[in-house]
Amino acid sequence: MSAEFVTQTDYKTDHRTPGRFIWSHIKRQPWLLLMMCVGAFSNAALAGALPYLTGIAFTAIRDTPNDLGMQVVLWSVIGIIISQLVRSVLQLMRNASAETYAQRIERDVREELYASVLGKSMTFHDRTPVGEIMARVTNDVREMNFFMNPGVNLVVGSGMFLIIPLVASPLIYPDLLWTPLAFVALHAVVQVYFVRELHPIAQEVRASFGRMNARLAEALDGLQVIKGAAQEAQEARLFEGRVDEVKRRFIQQGGVEARYLSNLMLPLALVIGLIHSIVLYDRGLITVGDIIAYNGMIGLFGFPVFTSLNSLARLALGYASADRILNVINTQTDLDRNEGGHSATIRGEVAFEGVTFSYNPTDKLPVLRDITFNVRAGKTVAIVGQTGAGKTTITKLINRIYDANHGTVTVDGVDVRDWNLATLRSQISIIEQDIFLYSRTIAENIAFGKPDATREQIEDAAKKAQAHEFITSFEDGYDTIIGQRGVTLSGGQRQRLAIARAFLTNPPILILDDSTSAIDSATEDKIQRAIYAAAQGRTTILITHRLSQIRWADHIVVLKNGQVVAQGKHEQLMASSEAYRRIFAHYEGEKAG
């Protein structure tokens, strides 16, 4: 399976079906599985010892002389106490094994899914709501935990409780086998139909939860827009609709569970078993103690009946969650990390040759059409054009965030698709207009691309980006923790941190996507000098409307409606390109306004 990034694990899981996927995780812990099964069987066997020993005691009281009978009763009581103490220890082992099992599976599946999500291309992420992905990484993975415990744990345990009466009943009297045998057979049929009916509903339960989560994530991400437009009430109603959908699905699941026929069959089995044993007693074929032991054995069916509702629901929800998780893992990405591809130190020559690109290949009008231009190593190129012309899209093709639909993009004469993806991206730094910062310290944000950087290197990069002064004005300086996406900083401060991050990595190719748009005029001159100094000796691609930046570019590419309409120096374009003049007339008009 192609992917931009693949986690390195010491195990391999089966992605062909949800069942195979689950089993591939289960069989990774054979000792835990063995302990759980041994504990489950021992629990059922020792639970069966309770009615058996009770029956012996009753028989001794009724049919055995006083002294000998009391000894039998005493030993029966001792046997009950010892068996139940051993049972409790083994039950603890079983439950501890099942819980450890469940937690390990949740950990492994979450790591595998998260790595898979990181490895997907931006095309996948553009089309998949963030909240939906989060629902799968968090809640669906959690359901796989519950699949194992209590799901599998109770299914295995209750299965043993079905076996013990089948084994013990004919030992009391052969004809007593028929009632428990009929119950087990009918119970198995009921469970098959129950699971078949529950499975599609469980899938809808998980899907509705994902849609609700997607709506929540979208609302929180756009909370400023909601508050700015005073649309809190409307958004609350929309979210309430998603919540109601989840509620309806759970009620639908509850309706299926309410029709679980094993709840009706259990009392019928108890009545039939009691009548049958009384008839045999009346014929002198069994004793009173046998009646007690036999009916106590049938009473063991209560555990699998009462627990199967919960355990089978957990199995259905866990299986549905595994299916949703595999839908993400098995989604083929349109980019490959090309681990065996070209690896070298980049010089910085970039070329576009007849490049056409569309975010959706079915679109009739591509975002970029027949783009051709060259950037020599160590030179600065400015890409200009009106909003929506495709400037940012061009930069995303250089480091293979997306791949061109037609034509080629080359770095140092090598098609970017032939480069080792990690090698290519590690040597290209992009500073975007919409800066993303993490909820970490300022120092950690600057060193994101170079985690092993020293504090001196971090501070030096911040000084070059004109960020050191405002950083040291904070009480904790470089150890200040900033809010999510950097909301506690101004736009200019966020951009200067992003520039410092780029300075620290010292990339051969530097792309600045209108990265100084939010910097105030007092700081602009310092930033311009810093960018000019950073551009020396490296290939720099500027997306900007600032005339001060465009003037010192070695080459200018003018875009209009996704096409290159002019190329050259500033003076040449001002004289020969009407589109270029209109861009600056529009920019100067906005500046004057």
pLDDT, tens only, 461-481: 888 887 888 899 888 899 988
Q: And the tokens for 178?
A: 């028929």
Q: How many CB atoms lie within 10 A of CB 438?
A: 14
| Confidence (pLDDT) at 5 | 61
Among 407, 419, 488, 500, smallest CA distance to 458 is for 500
Residue 176 DSSP symbol: G
> 451 pLDDT band (50/70/90 cuts)?
confident
Band the pLDDT of 485: cuts 50, 70, 90. low
Residue 340 has pLDDT above 90, yes or no: no
Specify whether the CB–CB gap between 375 and 541 falls below 8 A: yes
| Alpha-carbon gap, residue 144 to 86, rounded angstroms | 30
Structure confidence at residue 1 (pLDDT)? 45
Of the listed ranges 71-75, 273-277, 513-517, 579-583, the one predicted with least confidence: 513-517
* pLDDT confidence of residue 592: 46
For residue 497, what are the contacts with CB-CB under 8 A and spacing of at least 6?
Answer: 435, 437, 442, 445, 446, 462, 465, 467, 486, 489
Average pLDDT taken over every residue of the chain: 84
Buried b (16+ CB within 10 A) or exposed e, 420-430: bbebbbebbbb
Q: What is the pLDDT of residues 512-563, one digit of tens each?
A: 887 555 555 665 666 666 667 666 778 989 887 777 677 778 899 999 888 9
The H-assigned helical ranges of 141-221 are: 141-146, 153-172, 178-221
Check for a shared fold between 18-329 and 341-427+510-515+540-593.
Answer: no
Question: Residue 426's pLDDT band (boundaries 50, 70, 90)?
Answer: confident
pLDDT band at 390 (very low <50, low <70, confident <90, very high): confident
Domain boundaries, the chain: 18-329, 341-427+510-515+540-593
CA distance 287 to 285: 7
Are 106 and 141 a contacting pair, CB within 8 Å? yes
**pLDDT band at residue 180 under the 50/70/90 scheme:** very high
Share of the chain above pLDDT 70, in %: 91
pLDDT for residue 572 is more than 50: yes
593 band by pLDDT with thresholds 50, 70 and 90: very low
Mean pLDDT for the stretch of residues 486-497: 76
- Write down the residue that tokens 């009921």 correspond to: 190
Band of residue 269 on the pLDDT scale cut at 50, 70, 90? very high
- pLDDT (tens digit per residue) in 31-78: 888 888 888 888 888 888 888 888 888 878 877 767 777 888 888 889
Task: Indicate if the pLDDT at residue 179 is higher than 90.
Answer: yes
Using an 8 Å Cβ cutoff, are 497 and 489 in contact?
A: yes
Who wins on pLDDT, 278 or 222?
A: 278
By percentage, how much of the chain surpasses pLDDT 90? 20
- Phi, psi at 376, each rounded to 5°: -75, 150
What's the pTM? 0.74
Please indicate whether residue 407 or residue 68 has the higher confidence score (pLDDT): 407
The yes/no answer on whether domain 341-427+510-515+540-593 falls in CATH 3.30.310.10 is no
Structure-token match 């996406």, residue found: 485
Q: Is the pLDDT of residue 503 over 90?
A: no
Please give the average per-residue pLDDT across 479-485, as a whole number: 76
d(CA 424, CA 344): 9
Sign for the CA dihedral angle at 281, 286, 289, 292 comes to negative
**pLDDT of 486:** 61
Say which DSSP state 152 is in.
Answer: I
- Res 181: pLDDT: 94
Which CATH code for domain 18-329? 1.20.1560.10
Q: Which two tokens stand for residue 588?
A: 């100067």
CA 57 – CA 30 distance, rounded (Å): 40
Distance separating alpha carbons of residues 420 and 338, to the nearest angstrom? 5
Angle, helix 288-299 to helix 262-282, in steps of 10 degrees = 170
